[in-house]
Amino acid sequence: MAQHASSTGGMSSFTATRWTNLVLGIVCMSAVANLQYAWTLFVVPITHAFGWSKAEIQVAFTLFILCETWLVPVEGWIVDRIGPKWMILAGGIATFLAWFIDSNATQLWEFYIAGALAGIGGGAVYGTSVGNALKWFPDKRGLCGGLTAAGFGAGVALTVAPIRDMIQSSGYAHTFFVFSIILGGVVVACSFFMRAPRADELPPMDKVKTRQGVEDLPPQKALRSPIFWTMYAMFFLVAAGGLMSAAQLSPIAHERGIANTTVTFLGMTAPAIVFALSLHSITNGVGRPLNGWISDHIGRANMMCIAFGIEAVCLAAFGFLGTSPVAFIITDALVFLFWGDIFSLFAATVGDAFGRKYVTVNYGFMYTAKGCASLFIPFGNLLTRSTGSWHAVYTVGCLMNVVAVLLGWFILRPAINSRLKQASELVGGAAASSARAR
């Protein structure tokens, strides 16, 4: 390990620099989150303007998801070589261009191009911001990776009302144009102040509570590791189970006759489906850094097993017990409290197991599991139609989490412990040899 700051002033400067980079990454994530979560506000106005079906328009969103997930490994490979600044800058420009094209589009194919550009921009910012947080905070990877991932939802909380109001008052095209400048400008401005840490800026290993490897594995080696594919399978199982279930939230609420039931809960009054969507956005955001922080203290695999086990119980409770408005809201919120942590736990584990140098590209490959999981969403509709019941969807989601727990406890946990034990022995042997040489 390179020598660290030796003075109080140097350490204070280092602390300020890494927390500044973390905050900038969260701000960027908040901006590009609107590309995904605010899109739904534009679909109906576009339908009314051109007469296209929602299915035709939503092809743009499908292209967004595919580009946002499957291109992250390529973007991560570039970031690990040239640093985060230029990739964040490119992501900001792509964000601006995507909504600028949307503001002027009159043909479906133009919206499709904009959707692909939005995916490229969103993925560039997402992968880069998470990877940079993991590099700056090897001592707090779970917490800081979780905070960065949580930023992907925070932006919606700040902007969804202004975007909705502007669409109603000035039209969707004007709204696209104005927010293309705002969101793209925020990301571009942040990019000029972001950088990766130097070797001499890393915190001492005695500050790191979670055991970590010392070897930086490039993707060609990481992808040959059984640890990687065990985690990939777990990521897919938990993501698919959650996405498949979340996609049915509104239809289930309407079928149970509670979607528009007015509920007064926690001092607020709103229709049950609105309340559920709002509250689970909060728990989804809180769960990512919370569960990541716990994993910093008890170990990643241990936390995965605990979280995914609770998630299985919560999915079953939501599917079978969430029949009243309040029960629906509470069980849905609990589902998301333990679902979003996949975006902090797996990111941190990739950094622990395969090292800091290539963490952005290695996590980029891991993140494609979300893309695979999104393709599994229609299975929920097919399952419901074939069985005539929503219960089958939540049973499958519950079982997916149980399988992930078993993989984590019996395969991932011992494999990671063995790898990190070997790394510790290598470090100890090298230290002893150095001492004897002196």
Residues 252 and 115 in one domain: no
- Structural domain including 311 reads 216-437
Residues 129 and 185 in one domain: yes
Task: Give pLDDT tens digits for 214-257.
Answer: 689 999 999 999 999 999 999 999 999 888 877 778 778 888 99
Closest CA to 304 of 289, 287, 291: 291
208 in any annotated domain: no
Residues 190 and 227 in one domain: no
Q: Which of 196, 225, 250 is the last residue of a domain?
A: 196
320 in any annotated domain: yes
Residues 396 and 251 in one domain: yes
Residues 188 and 223 in one domain: no
Q: How confident is the model at residue 190 (pLDDT cuts 50, 70, 90)?
A: very high
* The one-letter amino acid at 25: G
Supply the mean pLDDT for the chain. 89
421 in any annotated domain: yes
Q: Which of 142, 165, 196 is the last residue of a domain?
A: 196
Instruction: Report the C-alpha gap between 171 and 45 in whole angstroms.
Output: 8
Residues 251 and 289 in one domain: yes
List the structure tokens of 195: 């950088």
3 in any annotated domain: no
CATH number of the structural domain spanning residue 418: 1.20.1250.20
68 in any annotated domain: yes
Residues 258 and 147 in one domain: no
205 in any annotated domain: no
Segment 193-199 shows an average pLDDT of 93
Task: Give pLDDT tens digits for 29-81.
Answer: 999 999 998 898 899 899 999 999 988 998 999 899 899 999 999 999 999 99
376 in any annotated domain: yes
Residues 299 and 357 in one domain: yes
Instruction: Report the C-alpha gap between 79 and 242 in whole angstroms.
Output: 30
380 in any annotated domain: yes
Residues 169 and 275 in one domain: no
Task: Give pLDDT tens digits for 75-131.
Answer: 999 999 999 999 999 999 999 999 999 999 999 999 999 999 999 999 999 999 999
Residues 285 and 317 in one domain: yes
Residues 225 and 188 in one domain: no
Cβ 19 vs Cβ 141: under 8 Å: no
Task: Give pLDDT tens digits for 339-350.
Answer: 999 999 999 999
Instruction: Report the C-alpha gap between 210 and 402 in whole angstroms.
Output: 25
> Into how many domains does the chain fold?
2
Q: Which of 144, 168, 196 is the last residue of a domain?
A: 196
Model-level pTM greater than 0.85?
yes
Residues 130 and 73 in one domain: yes
Residue 342 CB contacts under 8 Å (≥ 6 apart), including other chains: 235, 238, 239, 242
**Helix, strand or coil, per DSSP, at residue 262:** strand
List the structure tokens of 192: 């000029």
Task: Give pLDDT tens digits for 386-438.
Answer: 988 888 888 999 999 999 999 999 999 999 988 877 766 665 554 445 445 55
